[in-house]
């Protein structure tokens, strides 16, 4: 399913099963917060296609998530197949990362997927990125997870016993309900109170800034270590900025040690292995990097050709004067922009829809799209980047990055946080190591508890 659309079951002939039927190849992992679950179609689909799943279901006295489903989670004993429960959840949100997300009324029941009158909207991943829906959904899942309890044998037994009671009880059940809801297995939570949009946005901003600064120091520390003689390969001169060396060390690690032969990324599996001792995993990776007689995946091109080019083109005195052709050349050398262009539908890029285009062609089309776009405050893409890079002190630069997200006045559709983070790094490598989604996945594979966004 390549375009956003309404899912109305028989009313418009669009069903949720269409997404799972076509998503297995490109789906990276699934997050689902759905109140009620009595059928296993989504869960079995994830399991059978080896796709990681994080599921949050509702906890209340009516047993909204069927015990047989909970038992399947426990029996599989897999860190890639996680179930948590929480009170007050009434959402129906499923995010197939790399594909898109459904937000609507359908629970995980046979009737909801096939015969009920349900209404929901499926957002293609490119539209999610364009309108900031991805950032808002991440905040949503983070909030849900904060109040959720992991599924345990004890919690399962409590729910199973309650289901047995419900099989016999139809009336005079208030005392049992109260006792059930007060089980010590589940966090007591009063539910979401009213929060103004401004307060919610500020909370998201503080979470972003906290993650930014914590990851920044990790990258700086790695840059210091991999640029030292102990871990710097012989083919990298000592004058290459430490931040750039950190980025390309993580690049090589990711594409040669995290990506499998099946082209899937195993960063989450490696995180589970390495989270107990990130230092050991990092040192092993740096020893591997130091031993390489030559760059394994074109890191020399980035360090010796593209990085100096990007630093020159993004300099304070030059950036505002870039032509569209100059800007395209910048985009062709930024991984995050190339990766986003690859994922975008041809129709958005004004490319023929009946053809398969190369990443270079799609990146050129995206660079044209970005060059023509305006932010809500009327700024073009060059002015937005100048604002981020040079519109204040280095200390306030993360705040200016935030200005470009969600509904900010400096936001340009399809210029995401990953791209801006990488551009900042190549423009100012002495202060801010380049960072993008791939950087985060690479760090997470080494056991660092960073937010890795697919």
Question: What confidence tens digit (pLDDT) does each residue in 159-193 have?
Answer: 999 998 887 776 667 777 777 877 777 777 665 55
Q: Span 266-292, mean pLDDT?
A: 95
Helix (H) or strand (E) run with residue 197 in it? helix 197-226
Q: Span 8-37, mean pLDDT?
A: 86
Tell me the angle at which helices 242-253 and 437-445 cross, rounded to the nearest 10 degrees.
70
Going by the DSSP 8-state scheme, the letter that residue 112 receives in this structure is I
354-to-5, 345, 351 alpha-carbon distances in Å = 20, 11, 9
Where residue 205 falls among pLDDT bands split at 50, 70, 90?
Answer: confident
Q: Span 6-30, mean pLDDT?
A: 84
Q: Which of 442, 437, 439 is nearest to 454 (CA)?
A: 437
Q: Is the pLDDT of residue 408 over 60?
A: yes
Q: Is the pLDDT of residue 10 over 60?
A: yes
Q: Is the pLDDT of residue 407 over 70?
A: no
pTM above 0.85, yes or no: no
Q: Which of 54-63, 120-129, 396-405 has the highest average model confidence (pLDDT)? A: 54-63
Residue 338 has a pLDDT of 95
Where residue 406 falls among pLDDT bands split at 50, 70, 90?
Answer: low
Q: Write down the mean pLDDT value for the chain.
A: 90
**Cα angle, residue 202 at apex, residues 134 and 90 outer, rounded to 5°:** 55
Q: Span 87-104, mean pLDDT?
A: 95
How far, in Å, CA of 308 to CA of 310, rounded?
A: 6
Residue 79 has a pLDDT of 83
Q: Span 98-109, mean pLDDT?
A: 93
Question: What confidence tens digit (pLDDT) does each residue in 308-337 have?
Answer: 999 999 999 999 999 999 999 999 999 999
Q: Is the pLDDT of residue 64 over 90?
A: yes
> Could you identify the residue written with the tokens 């994080």?
54
124-to-97, 112, 234, 422 alpha-carbon distances in Å = 10, 21, 45, 24
Phi/psi class of residue 72: alpha, beta or left (left: φ > 0; alpha: ψ in -120 to 50)? Answer: alpha
Lowest-pLDDT range of 25-29, 116-120, 189-193: 189-193
Strands 29-34 and 52-58, sheet pairing: parallel
């Amino acid at each position: 399913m390549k375009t956003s659309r309404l899912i109305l079951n028989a009313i418009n002939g669009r069903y949720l099963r269409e997404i799972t039927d076509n998503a297995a190849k490109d789906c990276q992992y699934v997050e689902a917060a759905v109140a009620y679950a009595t059928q296993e179609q989504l869960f079995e689909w994830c399991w059978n296609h080896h796709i990681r799943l994080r599921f949050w279901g509702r906890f209340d006295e009516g047993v909204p998530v069927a015990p047989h489903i909970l038992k399947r989670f426990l029996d599989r004993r897999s860190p890639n197949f996680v179930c948590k429960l929480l009170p007050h959840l009434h959402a129906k949100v499923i995010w197939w990362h790399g594909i898109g997300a459904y937000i609507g009324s359908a629970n995980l029941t046979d009737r909801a997927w096939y015969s009920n009158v349900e209404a929901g909207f499926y957002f293609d991943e490119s539209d999610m990125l364009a309108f900031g829906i991805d950032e808002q959904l991440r905040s949503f899942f983070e909030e849900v997870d904060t109040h959720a309890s992991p599924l345990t044998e004890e919690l399962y037994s409590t729910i199973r016993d309650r289901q047995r009671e419900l099989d016999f009880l139809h009336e005079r059940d208030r005392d049992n309900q109260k006792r059930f809801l007060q089980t010590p297995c589940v966090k007591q939570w009063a539910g979401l109170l009213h929060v103004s949009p401004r307060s919610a946005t500020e909370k998201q901003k503080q979470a972003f800034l906290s993650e930014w600064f914590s990851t920044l120091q990790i990258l700086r520390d790695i840059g210091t270590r991999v640029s030292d003689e102990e871990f710097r390969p012989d083919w990298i001169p000592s004058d290459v900025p430490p931040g750039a060396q950190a980025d390309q060390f993580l690049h090589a690690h990711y594409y040669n040690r995290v990506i499998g032969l099946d082209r899937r990324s195993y960063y989450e599996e490696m995180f589970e292995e390495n989270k107990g001792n990130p230092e050991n995993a990092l040192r092993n990776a740096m020893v591997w990097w130091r031993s390489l007689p030559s760059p394994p995946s074109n890191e020399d091109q980035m360090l010796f050709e593209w990085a100096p080019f990007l630093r020159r083109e993004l300099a304070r005195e030059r950036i505002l004067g870039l032509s569209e052709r100059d800007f395209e050349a910048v985009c062709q050398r930024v991984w995050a922009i190339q990766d986003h262009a690859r994922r975008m539908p041809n129709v958005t890029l004004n490319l023929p829809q009946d053809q398969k285009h190369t990443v270079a062609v799609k990146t050129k089309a995206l660079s044209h799209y970005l060059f023509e776009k305006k932010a809500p405050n009327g700024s073009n893409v060059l002015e937005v980047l100048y604002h981020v890079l040079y519109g204040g002190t280095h200390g306030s630069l993360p705040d200016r990055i935030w200005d470009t997200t969600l509904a900010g006045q400096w936001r340009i559709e399809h210029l995401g946080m990953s791209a801006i983070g990488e551009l900042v790094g190549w423009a100012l490598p002495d202060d801010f190591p380049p960072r993008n989604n791939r950087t985060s996945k690479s760090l997470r594979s080494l056991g660092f508890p960073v937010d890795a966004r697919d």
